[in-house]
Each structure stands twice: as structure tokens, then as C-alpha cells.
Amino acid sequence: MTTSFLITLREGFEASLIVAILLAYLSKTNRKEDARYVWWGTATAVVACVVAGTGIYLAVDGLNGKVEMATEGTIALAAAVVLTQMIFWMRKNSQHLSVELRSKVDTSAKTALFTIAFVAVVREGLETVLFLLSAETTSSSGSSVVIGGLLGLVAAVGLGLAIFAGGRKIDLKLFFTVTAVLLIMFAAGLAGKAVHEYRELIGWENGWLVQPAWTIDSGMWSSGTFYDFMKGFFGWHNAAENIRVITYFAFLAPTLYFFLRKPAKAAVQPAQAVSRDSDVAVEVTL
């Protein structure tokens, strides 16, 4: 549940953030009547994501044998790559997100407002579908994935509404940093799972790399709710093979290093780029 909650909270909040900025700026510039195009774009994207997610789930549900191994390994690998790319993209582009969106709104026709909202929401929605599929294949409780995902979406919408009704500046650095680190750890677990599935797919069963790094037969680290949480979120396994553990840390260490290191200073933006009397400026600095 915690894994899916974090995924939908993060992805849903990014979509909510973009929609909130668009709506707030339309309100500020006396274009409230155009807000309906943003809402239509958002609603259409949600429906498209639900349909696509249901179709993908039905397509992969019930697979077994080597097909299941190949599918789960590929989904886990794709989710790890997309998730990591998303985190670094947000880190790079979030600082001037509000300015860029307001610039697009200033030059946008009504259909363009629909498109901006649709693309923003559908992008996050399809990523969420991919991540939730990965969360389900690494967790023993499918129902907890659904419940956690719904709770995360509710929280994300609440945060979006708070931004729409909020003050001049909202510093989201801590939120995005903490969730990004946790999701990087989740992505490392997915990378380890992908290697595990591909190893089983090709029938590689001999050698030190496929021997268990540890074997835990009893206690909360071997089964139960805590075990399910650690398995679903961090890729923990009570008998993880050496290659899986090596893959986890080989992915985690450099990714965390590049994310947490201080980025090079970007070129100073012209003062005119941000309106000083704007009440909807949202700064996201990572």
C-alpha cells in the first residue's frame, strides 16, 4: 500500500501542480471562462489512462511460465528507467515550470489549453499505470496496491487544490527531494527484480552470482506484512541471490549520487521573466 500511495501521490501531484498553475493563471488574467478547456483536457486524460491501464492489466494478467518471467522483467526494467528519468527531468525543469506554463497560456488558443492539460495529465497517468503494474508484481497484495493508489490520488488532488488556493510562493523542495529519494530506492528494487526475472527466464541456476546472499526462514524479515512492505518498496527478498543484491546497489549508489549532488548553476533568468505582482507564482527548487 505504501509503495502505490507514494507513486500516485508523486505522479498525481505533478499533474495537479500543472493543472493548478494553469487554472490560477487563467483566473489571474481574467480568462476564467477558458478554464473549462483545462478541465476537459484533464478529464479526457483521466479517462484515457483508466482505459489504457485496464487494457494493459488485462493483457498481462494470468500470464505464466517464461512469458510471465519475460513480461514482469520487462515491466520492472521499463518502470525503473522511466521512473529515474522522470525524477531527473523534474529536478532539472521544475524551477521555472510556472514561468514556462504561464508563457504558453499567454500565447495559447482554447484548443491549446486543452492539449497542454491533456498531455500533462496523460503523461503522468501512463507513467503511474506502469509503476503500479510493477508495484503489484513485487507485492503479495494486489488489493493494497489499489487502495494505496487511490489514497495517493486523493492526497495529490488535495495538494493541487491547496496550491490553487494558496499564497504567492510555495516551496516544494523538501517534498520532491524526499519522495524522489524513496522512489530511487524503489527503482533500484525494480532493477534487481528485472535481473532476477531474466535470470530465471534463461535458466541460469549455477554459480556464485545466483547463490543466495542470505537466507531468512522465520521472523518478520521472511514473511508477513512488514516483509510484504519491504519487498514491494525496496525489492527486499528473504533469499535474494547475489546478482540481485549487486544490481540493487549498482543502480542505487550512482543514481543517488547524481541526484543529490549540487547541480551546476543555471544561467540567471531575466527579471522580466517572472511578474512581480503575480499571485500564482509557484517555485519548485530541487
Q: What is the pLDDT of residues 5-30, one digit of tens each?
A: 777 887 788 788 788 878 877 877 77
Whether 276 maps to a domain, the answer reads no
Range of the domain at 257: 2-263
Task: Give kind and range of the element (H or E) at residue 119.
Answer: helix 110-137
Quote the pLDDT of residue 104.
Answer: 67
Which one is predicted more confidently, 4 or 33? Answer: 33
pTM over 0.95: no
Whether 44 maps to a domain, the answer reads yes
Of all residues in the chain, the percent with pLDDT exceeding 70 is 77
Whether 247 maps to a domain, the answer reads yes
Q: What's the structural domain count of the chain?
A: 1
Whether 269 maps to a domain, the answer reads no
Quote the pLDDT of residue 142.
Answer: 57
Whether 279 maps to a domain, the answer reads no
Quote the pLDDT of residue 166.
Answer: 60
pLDDT digits (tens, 9 = 90+) for 171-198: 567 777 887 888 899 889 889 989 999 9
> Residues with Cβ < 8 Å from 269, sequence gap 6 or more?
96, 99
Question: What span, in angstroms and rounded, lies between the C-alpha atoms of 120 and 11?
Answer: 10
For the cut 90, the answer to whether the pLDDT of residue 40 exceeds it is yes
Whether 275 maps to a domain, the answer reads no
Quote the pLDDT of residue 107.
Answer: 61
Quote the pLDDT of residue 96.
Answer: 66
Whether 271 maps to a domain, the answer reads no
Whether 270 maps to a domain, the answer reads no
Quote the pLDDT of residue 270.
Answer: 45
Which one is predicted more confidently, 27 or 49? Answer: 49
Which one is predicted more confidently, 246 or 157? Answer: 246
Q: How far is CA 283 from the centre of its chain?
A: 20
Q: Please, are residues 169 and 274 in contact by the beta-carbon 8 Å criterion?
A: no
Average pLDDT taken over every residue of the chain: 78
